[in-house]
Chain A
Amino acid sequence: MSTFISGGCKNGKSFFAQRIAKAGGTPLYYIATMIPRDGEDEERIRRHRNERAGWGFETLECGRDILACLSRADPRGAFLLDSVTALLSNEMFDASGVHPRAAQKIACELAEFVRRAPNTVLVSDFIYSDAAIYDPLTEAYRAGLAHIDRRLARCCDNVLEVVSGQIIVHKGGVPL
């Protein structure tokens, strides 16, 4: 059963995502999407690793071209992809420049990922309700992430919003 989770930052999305993924059976995979760029990123990754310690996750490093990690895993297992937001920033902005079609590519690949590995939990970030007036590039990033979110909301069995550690069910239910 596939689950898409979004909400504001530090509201408890990752915690629920880990619980839901773990309830999905074994083998249990954590898809690490962050490509560290500096010491701060490395520190964040170290903290997340500690938080996951003892949960039984096998870590798959995959910061781009997400379907590639399925060749290193059993697609019948349970997958946690945290986060769609990092995946888009990796593919939209890299050393060779800006890639405006990255969101369309990722939306198609993630839909295919969920089709092949139906026991997947995906986490995104709700970055659509602030009053900032952004530059065109940031605005394109927000539009791109929303495009992926809406595609995932269509193809996943469950769509959940996490607010202050509470779950709002927008589609399906809470598979716990």
Chain B
Amino acid sequence: MILIIGGRYQGKLDFARERFALSDGDILVCDEGSGVLDFDKRCLAYLDRYALGRVRAGEEPVNALKANMERLSDAVLITTDISCGVVPVDPVVRAWRDACGRMNNCLARQADEVWRLFCGIPQRLK
């Protein structure tokens, strides 16, 4: 499993496409409406947006990922780091931020490689 993190607009997906030779068909671009993830895709992009939809629905986003860890063993997972701002006033956004932290930590523990993108430049953390 490969995990790619970084701030918004830092070039995470561009890096993933190039480094892991992904084509459009390999990539699931998640949004808030992605209730069920397609674990047959090689790359799940923007798990933070998936997480926002799940939090709005009252679910814990990391659960579906934990339940499918084996199917993710060769996956490239992309998630935005949203952890560095002020504690959000909105309770849903606050819950989303916490859920993303739990999800990212869980994925980073399982991942064989963890990459962080900064202004388009990759750095391998694990």
Which residues of A come within 8 Å of B, CB atoms? 4, 6, 8, 126, 128-133, 142-143, 146-147, 149-150, 152-154, 159, 161, 168, 170-171
B8:A170 contact, CB within 8 angstroms? no
- With A8-B84, A130-B85, A133-B93 known, 19 other A-B pairs at CB within 8 A are A129-B8, A129-B82, A129-B83, A129-B84, A129-B85, A131-B82, A131-B88, A131-B100, A132-B85, A133-B90, A143-B9, A147-B9, A149-B119, A150-B10, A152-B119, A153-B118, A153-B119, A154-B120, A171-B121
Q: How far is the CA of A104 from the CA of B80 in the complex (A)?
A: 24
Give min CB distance, A110 to chain B, whole Å.
Answer: 13
Give min CB distance, B126 to chain A, whole Å.
Answer: 16
Number of interface residues of B (CB under 8 A): 25
Which residues of B come within 8 Å of A, CB atoms? 6-11, 80-86, 88, 90, 93-94, 96-97, 100, 118-121, 123
Q: Which residue of A lies closest to B83 (CB)?
A: A129
Q: How far is the CA of A126 from the CA of B83 in the complex (A)?
A: 13
Give min CB distance, B90 to chain A, whole Å.
Answer: 8
B119:A4 contact, CB within 8 angstroms? yes
Q: How far is the CA of A11 from the CA of B93 in the complex (A)?
A: 26
Q: How far is the CA of A134 from the CA of B10 in the complex (A)?
A: 17
Q: How far is the CA of A8 from the CA of B7 in the complex (A)?
A: 12
A132:B93 contact, CB within 8 angstroms? yes
Give min CB distance, B12 to chain A, whole Å.
Answer: 11
Q: Which residue of A lies closest to B10 (CB)?
A: A128
Q: How far is the CA of A8 from the CA of B100 in the complex (A)?
A: 20
Closest 8 CB pairs of A and B: A130-B85, A128-B7, A146-B9, A129-B84, A153-B119, A131-B97, A150-B120, A129-B7
